[in-house]
A and B are shown apart, each in its own frame.
Chain A
């Protein structure tokens, strides 16, 4: 996991190599490194204050399960941000995908894997439709995905109330509860067993991270996505079919959102319309804290994981310290603003240093 992730980091971090090729910025400007240090420091701090923080089964396992789900959500946002678009409907697309998975299990009696595939296809299709509308009409993706959010919010609730009795699919196919509660400790290679802290669901996140990392770092397609985001006009003139790339980005976003919806449904055990209600804020938090630009053209796949982890660690740590749920949001908002301001200050200071040294 580490190597794949590292290669993506160097591959996609264009802010240093693209803008100022002659003078590399000092290493402490690297946002990812700062995030990692912050996560480790905060984890240690919470661990010292509340030793229960390192309880593998009761604290770390659910924490990592949440982080796995939300990282996929952040990646779904990251893909559209890479072409300079936004996806406000990321939570609803997750609910839409989960609806199909639940329908597949409940009505069609599908096995676990086929239901997941159905869910992914549904998410991909709705994402592609959104992307097609955006590219075809040229309307800002903000408006289109906002409208799509409205449409899906209504549609998913309507479908749930039409298809089910108590607005939830509760049928669980074989393997779902195992997927939910199994950790690496349940998978043994001979005598060696994994850590009980790492949930089995993290496999989806790792797959998504590797897949996207490979896409952005090693493929022509990924480069074209980034170029489309950085400068659509230049991309169009250099022969990139920008409309098709935009559709692709939205389709991928829908796919990842549906995957996140499936993971959220698995971790709660039921397929409900409220899945994904809270996804919009974390999707932006994770991607933006990790260094992905809202204006497009710069992404950091590993940054999405780190940003999401930071938010998750803070949330869990404050929760353990006895800070009430109501105050958590206040602190999270402050952390977001502080982190971004600090990042801004750091960039400005280091840029001045580089300029002065020339």
Chain B
């Protein structure tokens, strides 16, 4: 009896904590948005084909958001998200269409290249101690050039039909690309929340000095984070290649801003040490909803950027106001991981990515 009551109390407090979190807010926003869209489209939003297109183009934003989140959780920024994704997508396309490489090998080569570039970026940051922001800015420029050199002004669409079919196939109207993204998110969540290596990443991001003193090599965590980020970008490039009608030099050009928007709306702190896999996925959902609503009411595409910008501003400002309100009431909610309230009031004026600054 007592154990059951204890458990009930634990569950209740966990529920209460959950109800205060960003994730719940996002979940409500997603549900409300879906309902509103369903009403506006008089029910056709929940029909097969429209669900399918909705989810089809959700896979890549989720994956790039997660890729950025991994870099953010050790306090690094990855500006090369779009360039690396575009480069890998073009590499896969060129290998298949021009090189005649089988689809499986080409995809593997693309994903491995992206991972390797992430690894090299991480090693470079650690070796030179240059700020990660600047290093990824440099790699972004290099990769943009490499992507353009790879494809030039062409659009490559003559690649493997198998991959294309896989990208388009959608059992039960749930596209395989979306399933891929969800599986990647689940694996990442398991890694972050359950593995020692994942906890080390968060420790190094949350307080590098304390992590070092407890025997965690922050350098190794930075390298690991960039490698993981590269791997996720490689998978994002795979889903993009599979679902797009063709790859050209514009693939990845508009990935950078959404990649930051998803984790930030999802509640990840730029200073490192926090992670929100579900929040990032839901934030990608919200952005996709805005996009769909835009198409539903046939508005100018510029509205998306405007609205996403307002949503990001509103999220961060609202979160801050919420925090200070809770502090006034004297019960700060336990975030993941719990952040002491003192550090929260401090204006975060310091640069987010101080990993290689010293």
Taking Cβ atoms with an 8 Å cutoff, the residues of A that contact B are 83-86, 133, 135, 137-144, 146-155, 157-158, 161, 232, 242, 246, 281, 284-285, 288, 294-296, 324-334, 336-337, 340-341, 344
In the complex, besides A332-B141, A333-B141, 18 extra interface pairs with C-beta distance below 8 angstroms are: A86-B351, A137-B321, A143-B312, A143-B316, A147-B309, A151-B305, A151-B313, A154-B302, A158-B306, A232-B347, A242-B349, A295-B131, A295-B351, A329-B148, A330-B149, A336-B141, A340-B128, A344-B129
Selected interface stretch from B3-11, B187-195, B256-264, B333-341: B256-264
Selected interface stretch from B132-140, B169-177, B216-224: B132-140
Q: Which of B305, B308, B321, B349 contacts A84 (CB 8 A)?
A: B349
Main secondary structure of the interface of B (DSSP, over half): helix
User: B33 on the interface (CB 8 Å rule)?
Assistant: no
Q: Which of B324-358 contact A (CB under 8 A)?
A: 345-352, 354, 357
Cβ-defined contact, A154 with B307, below 8 A: yes
Q: Which of B77, B149, B309 contacts A154 (CB 8 A)?
A: B309
Main secondary structure of the interface of A (DSSP, over half): helix
B-chain residues with CB within 8 Å of residue A143 when the two chains form the complex: 260, 264, 270, 312, 316
Q: Which of A83, A139, A324, A333 contacts B138 (CB 8 A)?
A: A333
Write the nearest CB–CB distance from A155 to chain B, whole angstroms: 5
A-chain residues with CB within 8 Å of residue B48 when the two chains form the complex: none
Taking Cβ atoms with an 8 Å cutoff, the residues of B that contact A are 77, 124, 128-131, 133-135, 137-146, 148-149, 152, 257, 260-261, 264, 270-271, 300, 302-310, 312-313, 316-317, 320-321, 345-352, 354, 357
Cβ-defined contact, A158 with B354, below 8 A: no
B-chain residues with CB within 8 Å of residue A154 when the two chains form the complex: 302-309
In the bound assembly, the distance between CA atoms of A250 and B230 in angstroms comes to 33
Q: Which of B144, B302, B347 contacts A135 (CB 8 A)?
A: B347
B-chain residues with CB within 8 Å of residue A138 when the two chains form the complex: 320, 345-349
In the bound assembly, the distance between CA atoms of A143 and B260 in angstroms comes to 8
Give the interface centre of B271, B300, B321 by most chain A CB atoms within 10 Å: B300
Q: Which of B145, B146, B357 contacts A295 (CB 8 A)?
A: B357
Query: Can you list 17 A-B pairs, Cβ within 8 angstroms, ordered by A?
Result: A135-B347, A140-B270, A140-B352, A143-B312, A147-B261, A149-B257, A149-B309, A153-B305, A154-B307, A246-B349, A288-B134, A326-B145, A326-B152, A330-B142, A333-B141, A337-B142, A340-B128
Q: Which residue of B lies closest to A348 (CB)?
A: B129
Q: Which of B145, B309, B347 contacts A148 (CB 8 A)?
A: B309
Write the nearest CB–CB distance from A92 to chain B, whole angstroms: 10
In the bound assembly, the distance between CA atoms of A344 and B130 in angstroms comes to 8
Cβ-defined contact, A330 with B146, below 8 A: yes
In the bound assembly, the distance between CA atoms of A83 and B350 in angstroms comes to 9
Write the nearest CB–CB distance from B339 to chain A, whole angstroms: 14
